[in-house]
Amino acid sequence: MAIEMKVPPVGESITEVTIASWNKKDGDSVKMDEVLCELESDKATFELPAEAEGILKIVAKEGETLPIGAVICIIETVGASAGPSAPAAVPATEAAAPVAVQAPAQVSTEAKVIEIKVPVVGESITEVTVSSWNKKEGDTVNMDEVLCELESDKATFELPAEAAGVLHIIAESGTTLPIGGLIATISVGAGSAAPATSAPAAAPAAVVSAPVADNGYAAGHASPAAAKALAEKGIDPATVSGSGVGGRITKEDAQSAQKPAVPVATPAPAKVAAPAVVQAGEGNRTTRREKMTSLRKTVARRLVAVKNETAMLTTFNEVDMKPVMDLRGKYKDKFKEKHGVGLGFMSFFTKAVCVALKEFPSVNGKIDGDEIVFHDFCDISIAVSAPKGLVVPVIRNAEALSLAGIESEVVRLAGRARDNKLTLEEMTGGTFTITNGGVFGSMMSTPIINAPQVAILGMHNIVERPVVVNGEIVIRPMMYLALSYDHRIIDGRESVSFLVRVKQLLEDPARLLLDV
């Protein structure tokens, strides 16, 4: 069997590597994890270990530059290369015909074990959590078949099989592993060894009965969003019928699932009896524990770091939303008919922020050591509440987008966030953040800066309040705005002036069109 060795992902910004030197020659026998060659990127040099034992066939020569994922070499495993040697054993023992028949059984029994490890998924990611397994212990898997889903603090991704064989799970669902940690092993050739060690009729029966008993390779396994929904309801995924591919439980299955009456009444008698005595007077006092996800742990760590490492202050102002609401109410139907997307408040705020950032560049900067980095573009991060927690996808070059372009990006990114399909590239590199707590009813808050950015704008709910306009008391839809900023590079004058500029643009949205 031939195993292709490809250029592994080595960092978010690295797209190609150069083969610096080969430690082995074409046709050499190599062992598992033996260093084959050294790869050189624009940032570092690293070694490429062998993924299996066998005969090396070099595809790319020294000095060649290859993109990520390109084939470097091929390893012919010992099980595959042992085939030609079997006929040589036959003439050596001409009178022992049964021994020649037994030779393939011995070769196939020598299953080569391939270790499946946590791949490198980004420069800043040091560990992942096994979210769910699509395969079970002892299942036969094919090359590139999805084994499980891994969850990092930024995204969820699938882990494919590196070879065909029998799967042996080492890290169960919920286990957190470092980059390079061992997740599972695949025994190559183990499937052909089974008939040699058991009765010929019994082995096929076992192979046939397994698929019949299983509705699909992912039956009983829930997607990350579905698993969270079922956990909140207290429903065991094994009791839910999945409608997804291979029987997987989808988010819709989890939302429509109802907790059965029988499991509620089946706790151990000893545990039920104790609360029964107290229940008459105190009610249900049960507690439960859940392990923090990688995303939640990372968010917690970064928020504490921001509070400790920045000189964060918050300034407030209020904006009369009537002009924007009138404009939106007048043109929202025609806007949706023409552009195919609704006209919301986020596009007005994003556009106003981009104009203000050009006038106050320090609000759009960051600190790098003892230097200040100013950005001539506006990559606006928008805070989105996803099933796994808060994520912050980025609208690239928002200053160059129209209102329709911004609304389309907001809808696209929010949808991908809800489906847990955001990539690392879609969540990194923002220069300024907008968060809208008003959708949950928040009237006022002090948002925390999204490092390494130096400012964040907080939107809140719109409330009709009496205000004085031209000497008269009138009722207007008002919204409080909050700007949290890093006082190390943003002075009070700049922060207040920035927020006032945003207020002016929103209260006279024609300025956004006229750029005045």
pLDDT classification of 446: cutoffs 50, 70, 90:
very high
pLDDT at position 173 is 84
487 as an active site residue: the answer is yes
Compute the distance between CA of residue 308 and CA of residue 377 in angstroms, rounded to an integer: 28
Read off the pLDDT of residues 46-85 as tens digits, 9 standing for 90 and up.
788 888 888 999 999 888 888 888 889 999 886 544 444 4
* Preceding peptide of 195 cis, ω within 30°: no
Tokens describing residue 244: 């997804």
Residues written for the chain: 516
Please identify which of the residues 419, 491, 508, 515 carries the catalytic annotation: 491
pLDDT classification of 506: cutoffs 50, 70, 90:
very high
> Which domains are seen in the chain, by residue range?
311-514 (3.30.559.10)
Read off the pLDDT of residues 208-267 as tens digits, 9 standing for 90 and up.
333 434 445 456 667 666 777 777 777 877 777 777 656 767 777 777 777 665 544 445
491 as an active site residue: the answer is yes
pLDDT at position 8 is 85
Q: Which residue has the higher pLDDT, 249 or 484?
A: 484
Backbone angles phi, psi at 9, to 5 degrees: -65, 130
pLDDT at position 220 is 66
**pTM attached to this predicted model:** 0.52
Read off the pLDDT of residues 152-189 as tens digits, 9 standing for 90 and up.
766 777 888 888 888 989 988 888 888 888 999 988 86
Question: Tokens 């509705």 label which residue?
Answer: 215
Q: What is the SS3 assignment for 482?
A: strand
The rounded mean pLDDT for the chain is 80
Q: Is the pLDDT of residue 111 over 70?
A: no
When pLDDT is averaged across residues 139-149 and rounded to a whole number, the result is 87
* DSSP-assigned beta bridge partners for residue 481: 317
Tokens describing residue 487: 């006082």
pLDDT at position 282 is 65
Compute the distance between CA of residue 382 and CA of residue 401 in angstroms, rounded to an integer: 15
CB 133 within 8 A of CB 102: no
Compute the distance between CA of residue 77 and CA of residue 341 in angstroms, rounded to an integer: 54
Containing H/E element for 309?
helix 294-309
Containing H/E element for 21?
strand 16-22
Class of residue 150 by CB neighbours under 10 A (exposed 0-12, middle 13-18, buried 19+): buried
Read off the pLDDT of residues 14-37 as tens digits, 9 standing for 90 and up.
778 888 888 999 889 988 888 898
pLDDT at position 154 is 65
Please identify which of the residues 42, 144, 333, 487 carries the catalytic annotation: 487
Backbone angles phi, psi at 405, to 5 degrees: -65, -40
- For the chain, the straight-line distance linking the first and the last C-alpha, in angstroms and rounded, comes to 68
